[in-house]
Structure 1
Amino acid sequence: MSGRRANHRIRLLLFSFGLLFVVAIARATYVQAAQHDRFTKMATTQYRETIEIPAARGTIYDRTGEPLAIGEQATTVYANPQNIIDAQRAAVVTGKALGMSADALYPVLKDRSKGFVYVARKADPLKANALAEQEIPGLAFYPEELRTYPQGGVASHVLGFAGTDNRGLDGLERSLDKTLAGRSGFETIVKDPFGRAIDVVTSRPERAGKNVTLTIDHQIQANAEQVVAEKVKEYNARGGTAIVMDTRTGAILAMANYPTFNSNNFSTASPDARRNRAVTDAYEPGSTFKIVAVAGALEDNVVSPTTRFKLAPTIQVADRVIREAHTRGTEVMTVKEILSQSSNIGTITIAQKLGQGELASWIDRFGFGKPTGIDYPGESSGLVLPLDEWSGSTIGNVPIGQGIAVTPLQMVSAYATIGNGGLRHTPRLIEKIGTKRVTPKRGTRVVSRHTAERMMAMFRDVVVEGTGTEAAIPGYTVAGKTGTAQKAENGRYVRKYVASFVGLVPAKQPRFAILVMVDEPKGNIYGGVVAAPAFRDIARFNLQYLEVPPDAPETRVAGGATNP
C-alpha cells in the first residue's frame, strides 16, 4: 500500500468521525432546544408524582341524628407498569392479596406504555395494607373514601347515590354535591428508582365536605316503605307512593316509593326503580282534587257546608254527559254530603257556581301547575291547562280531578295547607347544613282559618261515615279524602286506575298530612279500599312512635260501633 493511499484513507476516516460528531452535536442541540420540555417531563415523572387526596364527603343524617349516608375508609391501589420489575409475580401476589384474578391483572401490569393504571379502586384497607407489606416495586397506595348507606334501601329515592369518584349522581347526593364534596388536597412526592415514595415536596390538605341533616325520620320512612310495598304486592299494582308531611312546618318525615332499590347497589337498579315518583310523576288525582272547588267556593262565600242541591244522577256539561261513580237516583245533598259521599255531580255543580275563571285561580293558589319549591332536584310541575285553552266541558272534568295532572307532593301539600289553618308551607327535606339550621320560608295564606276549619269538619265526615271509613284510627280523629281516578292513554280513558287517600291526623290539631297512592291496582280499584288502610297503618305507627296523645276517647268507626 502506498503512502498516498494510506493518507487518503486516514483523511476519509477522520472526515467520517467529524461528520458523526457534527450529527451528534446537532442532535444534542435539537433535543436540548426543541424537545427539552418533553424529556424534562418524562424525567420528572420517573422520580416525581402528584397525587390527589380526595376530601371526605359529608355525612347525611336523618332528623334524629341517625346516619343515612357515610364515608367508609378504603384504599386505592395503583401501579406504574414502567417500574414493575416482574409483572407475572406482581400479578400473582396482588391477585391473591386483593381477591382478584391474576390473569386479568398481568396484561395491565406488563403494559409499559402506561405510567399509571388503577389496580383496585376503593379496596378493603386491611387487604391493601397486607399487599403494601410485600413492597412490590411499581405498586402504590392512597387512602380513599367509599360512600355507603348504612340503612340499606331506606330513603334511597331521597338520598340518591354517589359514584366511584364520590360525586353525587342522583337525588340529594347530586343536588348537594358541592356542599357534601368539600375540596380535594394533593401531595407531590419524590420516588426512588423502584417507584417508592421517599419524600413529599409540596402538599395541600384536603377540606372535608359539610354534613347535612334531613327532615326525614328513618323509622317513619322505613315503616312507610314497608306499608307501600305490601299494598303494591297485595294488589299486584304497578307502583306506589307515600308521603308524610308535618303540617305545621312543611317538613317531609317520609317519602316512600315502590319499586325501590338499595343505594349501595345502585348500578344494578333499573331506571324505573330509581325514580322518585313522589316528585317526578304526575297523575290524574280523581276525587282528592275536589278539595280545590269546595274550598274555593267556601272561601268565596258561594256556598256553605249546609247549602243544599238537588242532584240528578247525571249532568250535561257542553258535549259531555258525566255520571256518578256509583248508581243512585236524584237526591238532595248538602255540600257536606257532596264531599263525604264524593259526589261528582255535586262537585261539578259547585264548580259551575264558582265559575271557570275563579276555579282556575284557586287551582293556581293551591299550588297546582307549578313546582312546590321543595329542595330536591327534578320536581315536576304537573299539567294544568291554561284558562284560555279550556273547552266547554273542562268545568266538568277538572273539578273532579280529570283532565289535570298533579304530583303526589303537590297533593299532600294542598291537604297540609288545610290542616295548617289555610297557611301553606313550602315542602322541605333539608333541616341543617353543617351546624347551620336552614330557615324555612314564610308560609303563604291560601284560605282563611274559618274555611280551613269547615273543610276539616267535612273531611272528618268522609272518614266517619263517607268513603274513607277504612282510614279510621281508634282513639284519634281522622280527616281525609279518597280518590279513584281512571287513567288515560293516547287521549282515551282505559280500564286502569289510580287509588289514593290523603288524610290529616289528629284532625283536631293535625300533626301529619299523609298521602298514599297506588298505581294500577288489580282486583279492587277504590281509594277507600286500597289506599285508606295503608294511610291508617302509616298514621297509627307515626302517632305511637312520636307519642302523640289521643284526641278522642272514643272514635266512631265503620258500622256505627265505637272503640275506646
Structure 2
Amino acid sequence: MSISALPARDRTTRNWTTLKGLATVWRRPPKMTVIGNPDRRIRWILLSFSIFFCAIVVRAVFLQAVNADELSALADAQHVQQIELPARRGTIYDRFGNELAVGQETKTIYATPYLIDDPLAVSQTLAPILQMDSNDLLATLSDKDAGFVYVARKVEPEVAAAVENENIPGLGIMTEEKRVYPQGSLAAQVLGYAGTDNQGLAGMELEMNDDLSGTGGRERVITDAGGKHIEMLSLEEGTRGADVWLTIDQSLQFETEKILTKTVKEWNAKSAMAIIMDPNTGEIYAMVNVPTADANEFNHLSDEARRNRAVTDTYEPGSVFKAFTATAGLEDGAIQPGQILHLPVTLELGERTIHDSYDRGPVDWDLETILENSSNIGAVTVAMRDGAENLEAWIHKLGFGSTTGIDFPGEAEGIVLPLDQWSGSTIGNVPIGQGISVTAIQMVAGYATIANGGIAVTPRLVCRVGDQTLQSQPGERLISERTTSLLRKYLTTVVEGKGAPLAQVEGYTVAGKTGTAQKPLPDGSGYSNENYIGSFIGFAPVSDPKVVILVMVDEPHPRGTGAAVAAPAFQKIAQFTLQKMSIAP
C-alpha cells in the first residue's frame, strides 16, 4: 500500500517508513525527554498549599482570640449608633403662671459622613431646603472621620419632612427642644435667652440655669447601611429641668412697657427704665427697659439692646438722691424737724458755685420745704452740717457702692468716691446726686427702706423654683421709724405741693421725689447743658406702702425735667398698678 493511499488520520498520527518502495513498515516514535522530577514538583505544590492554609488558620485564630473585642466594637459601630438626647429645659412663668419662656419641639438634621457617597451632590440637594450655603454643608458632610455631625439644628418640622423625603443615605432626624419666648418683647432684657444647646446665656435664663437645665438622655439604635434607624436597643430618658416662677406680673410689665414706649416717643428720648417693687418683700412686679427687644431674636441684638439697664447700668441720679441726704441729716441730728436754715442765693465751695435751678432770693426754709422746692443749696447745707465723713458712711450704709443682692447676673455696684479722694467741692456735688453713680435698682431699694419704716430689703425676681416657694428674708434696720415717718411726710408734701403735682394719683396719697440730672460730658470735663436724665421715684399709699415705683427717662428733648417727663409716666403706672392689685387707698 502506498502512503498516499492511507487514510488521512493514519498519515497524521502514525510514523511510517517505506522500505525500498516495496512495503510500508511501522517505526516506534522517538522517546520524549522529561525535564526534572515530577514527584518533587508535586510535593512543592502540596507544601505551598499547606503553608497558605496554615496562614489562614493562624490569622483566623488571631482575629478570634486576640482582636475579637476590637473587631466586635467596630462591627457594632457600623450598625449600632448611640445618640445623645439633649436635656429638656424648665419653663419660666410669671407670678400667675403665664408662660414667658418655653421649650418648643423642633427637628435636628444630623449625618454620618462615612455613609454619604457623594457629599457634593447631597450638599447641593440640601442647600435650598435648609436655606444654607452649599459650601458649608459640603465641608460638614465631607469629614469622613466623623461618625456624627450636626447638619441643621432646630428646624421646623416641615423642613425636616422635606429632607426626609429626599431619602438620602447617611442622614438622620431627631427631635430637639428650641427655646421660645411666647410674649415676644415682654420683659426681654429680664428673661435673657438660652442658646442653641439650651444653656442660659443672659438674664434669668443664665441666673437660673442650674435649676432650669435638665439632664440629657441616650438612645442606642440599630441602623441599616444607609444610616436609617431599624430598631431601638435602649433608651435612657433624661430629667427635665425645674420650672421657675418669676415675681414679674405680666399685666403690669406689659402696661409699663406701653407707657414708657409712649413717653420715649413723645419726648424724643434716648431710652427709659421703670421698676415696680413691693417695698416690704422686695418682689419686683415689673422691670422695664425701653426700647424693648424681641426675646426670640436676642442673640442677634447688640450688647446695649440686651442689657437689663435697671441692674447693670449706672447713672448720676440728681435730686432724687436728696432724700438720702435728708436721711443722714435727720439720723445724725444735723437738722431737726421744723428747724429753719438760712439759704443764700449762692454758695461758694472750692472752685464751684452752688445755686438752685430756679431764681430766688435768700430764704429761710426747713427740711420739708427744702425737699418740696428741691433746693440744691438747702441739701448741701444739711450735708455740710452733718459732715463729709458722716454723709459718706450713710451712703454706704444705704447700699450705694455695693450690689443689692438681686438675683440677676451682672449687677453693677455703682461708683462712690472714697472719702480720702473728696475735694473741697465734693460736698457740694454728692448731696444733690452729682459725682456719684447709682443703679436704678439701688435707688428703688433705698426708697423702699424709707417706705417700709427703715428695714433693708433685697430686691428679687424669683418667687418659686419647682415645688419650692421662696420666702423673703427679713433685713436689718437701717433707718429709725421716726426718721422714715418724717421722710414719708416730707415726700408727700413734694407730690401734693409744687414739687411733683403731675405724680398725684386720684384717690391715693403718694410720696416721692423728682430728679433732673445733667449728664456728664464724655471727656469728663464737666456736665452737658443739653442732655439730662429726668426721673421720679415714689410710693403709695403712704399710710401703708404696697408699691415703690421708679421712672427714669434718658435724654428727653427738648430739655425735660423729672417733674415734666417722669412724674406723669409714674402717675399712669401707679394708677394702673394700684387698681390692678386692688390696693385700698
TM-score (norm. length: structure 2): 0.85
Distance 1:479 1:394 in 2: 29
Does residue 477 in structure 1 map to residue 509 in structure 2?
yes
- 1:188 is paired with a residue whose SS is strand
Q: Deviation of residue 131 (structure 1)?
A: 5.4
Q: What letter matches 1:153 in structure 2?
A: S
Instruction: Indicate the residue corresponding to 1:529 in structure 2.
Output: 564
Tell me the secondary structure at the aligned position of residue 339 of structure 1. Answer: helix
| Bigger shift: residues 7-16 or 174-183 | 7-16
Counterpart AA for 1:493: G
Measured after TM superposition, the shift of residue 358 of structure 1 is 1.1
Please give the secondary structure, in 1, of the residue aligned with 2:423.
Answer: coil
Q: 1:318 to 1:90 in 2, by over 3 A?
A: closer
Kept in 1, the 8 Å contact 2:532–2:559? The answer is no
* Whole-angstrom CA distance in 1 between matches of 2:388 and 2:457: 27
Instruction: Work out whether 1:507 is the aligned partner of 2:539.
Output: no
1:491 counterpart residue number: 524
Superposed, which structure 2 residues align to 1:302-313 within 5 Å? 302-313=334-345
* 1:444–1:19 CA distance, 2 compared to 1 (3 A): same
User: Is 1:59 aligned with 2:91?
Assistant: yes
**Change beyond 3 A, Cα 1:339–1:119:** same
How many residue pairs get matched? 550
Could you tell me how far 1:458 is from its partner in structure 2? 0.6
Shifted more, 513-522 versus 372-381: the winner is 513-522
Q: Is the 8 A contact 1:340 1:466 kept in 2?
A: yes
Change (3 A) 1:346 1:132: same
CA 1:318–1:111: 2 relative to 1, 3 Å: closer
Give the equivalent residue in structure 1 for 2:152: 120
Q: Deviations over 1:52-85 (max 9, x none)?
A: 1122110001011101001111121222243346
Taking structure 1 as reference, are residues 89 and 396 closer, same or farther at Cα in structure 2, changes over 3 Å only?
A: closer
Contact 1:105 1:119 in 2 (8 A): yes
In terms of mean alpha carbon deviation, does 6-15 or 327-336 score higher?
A: 6-15
- Per-residue Cα deviation, 1:148-188 (whole angstroms, up to 9, x for no partner): 01111101111100111111110110121111011111112
Instruction: Name which one, 1 or 2, has greater alpha-carbon Rg.
Output: 2
Structure 1 residue 286: Cα displacement: 0.7
Tell me, in whole angstroms, the C-alpha distance in 1 between the residues paired with 2:568 and 2:219: 59
Q: TM-score, normalised by structure 1?
A: 0.88
**CA–CA distance in structure 2, aligned partners of residues 372 and 439 of structure 1:** 17
- CA 1:197 to 1:486, structure 2 compared with 1: closer, same or farther past 3 Å? same
| Matching residue's letter, 2:493 | D
Deviation at 1:134, TM superposition (A): 6.8
Distance 1:73-1:461 versus aligned 2 partners, 3 A rule:
same
Give SS of 1:316's match: strand
Out of 440, 449, 454, the residue aligned to residue 481 of structure 2 is 449
Aligned match of 1:138: 170
Instruction: From 202, 208, 227, give the equivalent of 1:170.
Output: 202
Q: Which amino acid in the other structure matches residue 374 of structure 1?
A: I
Q: Distance in 2 between matches of 1:261 and 1:10?
A: 91
Q: 1:9/1:525 Cα in 2 relative to 1: closer, same or farther (>3 Å)?
A: farther
- Residue matched to 1:372: 404
Q: What are the Cα deviations for residues 332-391 of structure 1, in whole angstroms up to 9, with x where unaligned?
A: 111110001000000111111111111111111111110000011000000001222222
Q: Mark the runs of 5 or more structure 1 residues left unpaired by the alignment.
A: 552-564
2:236 equivalent to 1:204: yes
* 1:271 Cα deviation from its structure 2 partner: 1.3
Instruction: Name the stretch that deviates more: 338-347 or 298-307.
Output: 298-307
Aligned residue type for 2:277: M
1:184 partner letter: G
Instruction: Name the structure 2 match of 1:405.
Output: 437
**Secondary structure of 1:173's aligned partner:** helix
* Cα displacement (A) at 1:241: 0.7
- CA shift at 1:480, angstroms? 0.5
Local SS of the residue matching 1:186? strand
8 Å contact 1:340–1:462 — kept in the other structure? yes
| Residue pair 1:258, 1:273 contacting (<8 A) in 2 also | no
Query: Could you tell me whether the CA contact under 8 Å between 1:259 and 1:272 is conserved in 2?
Result: no
Structure 1 residues 175-204: Cα deviation after superposition (integer angstroms, max 9, x where no partner) = 211110111111122222232223334432
Map of 1:3 onto structure 2? 35
In 1, Cα distance between equivalents of 2:340 and 2:375: 13
Cα separation, 2, equivalents of 1:349 and 1:60: 49
User: Residue 573 of structure 2 is aligned with which of 538, 543, 561?
Assistant: 538
Letter in structure 1 aligned against 2:536: F
**What is the distance in 2 between the residues matched to 1:101 and 1:378?**
37
Indicate the residue corresponding to 2:553 in structure 1. Answer: 518
**Secondary structure of 2:526 counterpart:** strand
2:360 aligns to what SS in structure 1?
Answer: coil
Contact map agreement 2:193 2:299 (CA 8 A) in 1: no
